[in-house]
Structure 1
Amino acid sequence: MSLKDKPVTALLGPSGQKLSYQRLDSLQQLPVKGRVEHTGYIQSVSYSAPHVAPTLTAVVVDRLGAVSARRGTVPHVRLAFMGQKSVPGIKPGVKVEYSGMVAPVDQVPTIFNPRYVIVPEARG
């Protein structure tokens, strides 16, 4: 049997195993650790300094509020895109659906290299 006869599939774990994500309705339900899915809005984006490894960081909240709202008072999660100077579509005000493994980093819930989809907003 040649390699052309066998389909190639990428298996990262036991076959047939699907990762389970906890779907969040609000970031107030955010666990300390675990796999989560959520839809929220990018509140802010920051970039790493020029002399360190590139990282783009986006802060996501449930809904956009007043500019005066302090980050410490609003439930939020940090999305860290490692090795990226920019990520297409990731900018403040964009609605994004994301998933990944959340873990506390400096007491801030953080997801490294999340899967994400930009959610189109209805124009009215």
Structure 2
Amino acid sequence: MSAPARGPDLLARVRRFLASSDEIDAARARTDAVRAGYDCVADVGDRRKVHLTGFISSMVVHPRSAAPTVEVDVVDGTGSITVIWVGREEIPGIEPGTRLSVTGFAANRGNHRVMYNPRYEILARAGEEQT
């Protein structure tokens, strides 16, 4: 009787060993999000209600002469989505590094996903450990 093939298993272990910490963190974030019942950004389709969690990777600051909006990119380990709150100049606690959940309708704008005026919950502020 021959030993079972170990090629794919060995290859997966080598990939995990060589993965960057960002890749490992992204994989862990996706697994945690799915377990908690959240959708993944990579799976978001056009005009579909979604419940996402991730951290704010960047924030766009518009000039005062522009229409008031708060615009952030939320990353969940599988991709990013631009979240835009129209009619707001700022939202306390919304800043790069903040971990939050958002619920709303996602759409595609060009080749990028967007969500307008979602409900949100701040899970951890920038620099805080998440429990």
110, 118, 131: which one pairs with 1:106? 110
1:58 is aligned to 2:62? no
Retained in 2: the 8 A contact 1:40–1:97?
A: yes
TM-score, with structure 2 as normaliser: 0.62
Amino acid at match of 2:52: H
Residue matched to 2:44: 30
TM-score by length of 1: 0.66
Q: Looking at secondary structure, tell me which structure has more helix per residue.
A: 2
1:1-124 mapped onto 2 (5 Å cutoff): 23-24=38-39, 26-63=40-77, 75-120=79-124, 121-122=128-129
| 1:27–1:50 CA distance, 2 compared to 1 (3 A) | same
Distance (Å, rounded) in 1 between the aligned partners of 2:38 and 2:99: 16
CA RMSD between the two structures: 2.1
- Inter-CA distance 28–50: structure 2 relative to 1 (3 Å threshold): same
CA distance in structure 2 between the partners assigned to 1:46 and 1:30 by the alignment: 22
Q: Which AA in structure 2 matches 1:109? A: R
Distance 1:84 1:47 in 2: 12
Secondary structure at the residue paired with 1:119?
Answer: strand
1:14-61 superposed Cα distances (whole Å, 9 cap, x missing partner): xxxxxxxx941x321111221000110100011222222111100000
Per-residue CA distance 1:83-119 (angstroms, 9 max, x = gap):
1111111101110011001111233211111100010
Which amino acid is 2:41 matched to? L
Percent identity between the two aligned chains = 27
In structure 2, C-alpha distance between the alignment counterparts of 1:79 and 1:123, rounded to whole Å: 22
More relative contact order in 1 or in 2 (CA 8 Å, sep 6+)? 1
Distance 1:123 1:51, change over 3 A: closer
